[in-house]
Amino acid sequence: MSFAIAQRLGYLFVDTGAFYRAVTFLALERNVPFDDPDALANLARSVRLDMTPDLGNDGRQYTLLADGRDITPYIHSPAVDAHVSVTAATPGVRAALLGAQRRVAARGRVIVAGRDIGTVVLPDADLKIYLDASLDERARRRYAQRISAGEPADLDAIRRGLAERDAIDSQREIAPLLRAPDAVYVDTTGLPLEAAIETVLQIIYGWKNTKQTC
Q: What is the pLDDT of residues 73-97, one digit of tens each?
A: 999 898 998 899 899 889 999 999 9
The per-residue pLDDT for 214 is 54
DSSP string, 83-102: HHHHHHT-HHHHHHHHHHHH
Residue 116: which pLDDT band, with cuts at 50, 70 and 90?
confident
3-state secondary structure of 20: helix
The dihedral formed by the CA atoms of 145, 148, 149 and 154, expressed in degrees to the nearest 10? 60
Average pLDDT over every residue of 4-11: 92
CB-based contact 51:63 (threshold 8 Å): yes
Range of the domain at 94: 2-213
**Torsions phi, psi of 131, nearest 5?**
-85, 135
Is 60 exceeded by the pLDDT of residue 118?
yes
Q: By percentage, how much of the chain surpasses pLDDT 90?
A: 66
Flag whether pLDDT at 62 surpasses 80: yes
Residue 213 has a pLDDT of 65
Please check whether residue 18 is in contact with residue 75, taking contact to mean a CB–CB distance below 8 angstroms: yes
Supply the mean pLDDT for the chain.
Answer: 90
Cα–Cα separations (whole angstroms), residue 109 to 43, 63, 72, 75, 198? 29, 16, 21, 24, 19
Q: How far apart are CA 180 and CA 147, in angstroms?
A: 33
Give me the amino acid identity at 197: I
How many of the other CB atoms lie within 10 Å of CB of 43? 20
pTM greater than 0.95 (yes/no): no
Number of domains in the chain: 1
CA dihedral 133, 61, 114, 208 (to 10 degrees): -90
174: CATH: 3.40.50.300
User: Phi and psi for 52 in degrees, rounded to 5?
Assistant: -130, 160
